Structure 1
Amino acid sequence: MTFPVLRETREDVAIITLDDPARLNPLSDDMRAGLLFEFEAALADEAVRTIILTGAGGNFTAGADIRQLGLPGGPDPARSRRRLMPLHRLMELIAGGPKPVIAAIEGAAFGAGLSIAAASDYLIGGDSVRFGAAFGKIGLTADCGLIWSLPQRIGRSLARDLMFTGRPVKAEEALSIGLVDRIVPAGTALDAALAKAAEYRSVAPLSITAMKAAFVENGGTLADALALERQQQPMLSMTADHAEGIAAFREKRAPVFKGR
């Protein structure tokens, strides 16, 4: 089956592109399935160290596919749950998976598109970017973990305001409130994301994996954080990348990490 999602690899970076530009890349059932399929494939590829998420045609996504809402036969809670499942799994892998995820966002990033972007490790927006969480305007709650991820970026009060009003947020405000990490000229977000991915090469992949896992647990206590550290650090100290990092430091050269 062909999904409206593309994946290509440039060096050690997988670029996953939502590819239904004529309709602003809506999150149809096929788009959801394709996103999860390509993301899992990128995670399984040992040559891939970083994943970039982006959209075709100058937009990320307009959010839910309105054509698949309010179908004949009336409300169907079971179908609603089924449609959420691939996106929920995707969100778990973005936030807590073993590889860093960069969102390269141009144009519209609405609804679950905002949820995906907010959960990414680094968010770059073109200066034409527009975010929105208008779930309440169609009588729904924010989904795909946005109530978890958005407050981590912009704080609880601002997150409430964006979700309770559904108002759009453009590039300048998005940068000022911390919703995006960097704004670049329109059309260059992907290039900037590739440059950011190159910066990650100086850090051992398993170290990033461990720190991502710790960030997902950030709602716990200091004792919880220290307990996780006691699990992770001894294991990392036994890796080949740790030995390589020490050797590179002593030899005054750049390390060559291999993720093991």
Structure 2
Amino acid sequence: MTIDFGTETVNLVIHGRVATIELNRPDSLNALSVEMLKDLAAVLKKVTTVDEVDIVVLTGKGRAFCSGGDIKTMLSSTDKSAFPEVMDSISTVVKELYCMPKLTISAISGAAAGLGLSLALATDYVIAEKSSKIAMNFIGIALIPDGAAHYFLEKRLGEDKAKHLIWEGRPLAADEAYQLGLIHEAVEEELNNVLDKKINTWLRSPVKAMIETKKIFIEKNLPELNKILELEKAGQYKMTQTQDHQEGIQAFIEKRKPVFIGK
């Protein structure tokens, strides 16, 4: 079975038991606009309903996996009434991805930053090219991570390392991200070759048993994940009201280093 489907911002190709979801805003390094988040949620929901699919690959078109939220259209908006819609769209995408009854892989080339990294961490397996840059860099515009990043980072790194990674916000080389335990593989060879090897290994595995284990962890962890998403929504709104955030946005637009004052 081969199916081509997609929206303006997200492509979907299903070939046999494997679905590939491609973020498709290459000119903006696949930055996540509200439209793109809604499209991604719709595509994820569609894939979930295709019983023949066992493995789902998330990737990005062009030079980046995903550079994060679209700052200019989402965070600098003067329409504060749009904020709940943005955060609810993020929560929908993260839960669709994390709770999907399929095995999921993120294949990272270029940047996986901010919300883009949150999405990658919501999948079961993360492969990155060695030249990739991995960053949880919300702090650069005086925001907190969202997309359940607090949940995923704590699970992988523990509270202390997660906290300091968030506070520093510096980009990590793929090797360093691997050594920390943030991703599963940092590869020097062609990304698609390594990805194909992983897919073929899983296709020869007892996938139903693997997914059943995944479902047990989801059932156990979903209340905590939901709580983190609620806390991030409330906390992020507070941060959007700060002087430091407004300075961070202005500095981003002007391509200069922000001057934060702690207010």
Equivalent pairs, count: 216
SS of equivalent residue, structure 1 residue 46: coil
Aligned partner of 2:181 in structure 1 is: 178
Whose radius of gyration is greater, 1 or 2? 1
Aligned to 2:53: 48
CA distance in 1, matches of 2:47, 2:206: 18
Match of 1:70 in 2: 76
CA distance in 2, matches of 1:193, 1:163: 28
| Counterpart residue number, 1:212 | 214
Cα displacement string for residues 160-206 of structure 1 (whole angstroms, at most 9, x for unaligned residues) = 111011111111211111111111136x3233223212222233443
CA RMSD of aligned residues (A): 2.0
TM-score (norm 2): 0.76
Alpha-carbon distance change, 151 to 28 in structure 1, aligned in 2, over 3 angstroms: same
Distance 1:204 1:93, change over 3 A: farther
Instruction: Name 2:114's counterpart in structure 1.
Output: 111
Task: Say which is worse superposed, 157-166 or 102-111, in terms of deviation.
Answer: 157-166
Tell whether the 8 Å contact from 2:114 to 2:135 is kept in structure 1 after alignment. Answer: yes
Contact 1:13–1:194 at 8 Å: present in 2 too?
A: no
Residue 59 of structure 1 deviates from its aligned partner by 0.8
Q: Matches of 1:54 and 1:191 in 2, distance apart?
A: 14
Tell me how far 1:218 sits from its aligned partner. Answer: 5.3
Q: Structure 2: how far apart are the matches of 1:62 and 1:176?
A: 22
Structure 1 SS opposite 2:83: helix
| Structure 2 residue aligned with 1:80 | 83
Cα drift, residue 219 of structure 1: 5.6
TM-score (norm 1): 0.77
Kept in 1, the 8 Å contact 2:22–2:58? The answer is yes
Deviation at 1:118, TM superposition (A): 1.2
Separation in 2, partners of 1:118, 1:2: 23
Cα distance between partner residues in 2 of 1:128 and 1:151 = 25
User: Residue 193 of structure 1 aligns with which residue?
Assistant: 195
Unmatched 5+ stretches in structure 1: 221-260
Structure 2 stretches of 5 or more lacking a match?
Answer: 1-5, 223-263
Q: Does structure 2 conserve the Cα–Cα contact (< 8 Å) formed by 1:64 and 1:112?
A: yes
**Cα 1:219–1:33 shift into 2, 3 Å:** closer
CA distance in 2, matches of 1:205, 1:43: 15
Secondary structure of 2:196 counterpart: helix
Single out whichever of 197-206 and 164-173 deviates more from structure 2.
Answer: 197-206
Matches within 5 A, 1:5-154: 5-68=10-73, 69-73=75-79, 76=80, 78-154=81-157
Instruction: Return the offset for 1:86.
Output: 2.5
Q: Percent identity?
A: 29
Distance 1:154 1:44 in 2: 33
Shift of the 136–25 alpha-carbon distance from structure 1 to 2, 3 Å rule, reads same
Query: In 1, are the aligned partners of 2:127 and 2:185 still within 8 Å (CA)?
Result: yes
Residues 85, 219 of structure 1: alpha-carbon distance in 2 compared, 3 angstrom cutoff: closer
Q: Is the 8 A contact 1:3 1:33 kept in 2?
A: no
CA separation of 1:11 and 1:192: change in aligned 2, threshold 3 A? farther
Contact 2:41–2:96 (8 Å) recurs in 1: no
SS of equivalent to 1:8: strand
Deviation at 1:38, TM superposition (A): 1.3
Q: Give the letter aligned to residue 5 of structure 1.
A: V
Q: What is the alpha-carbon distance in structure 1 between the residues aligned to residue 212 and residue 159 of structure 2?
A: 26
Asked if structure 1 preserves the Cα contact closer than 8 Å seen for 2:114 and 2:136, the reply is yes
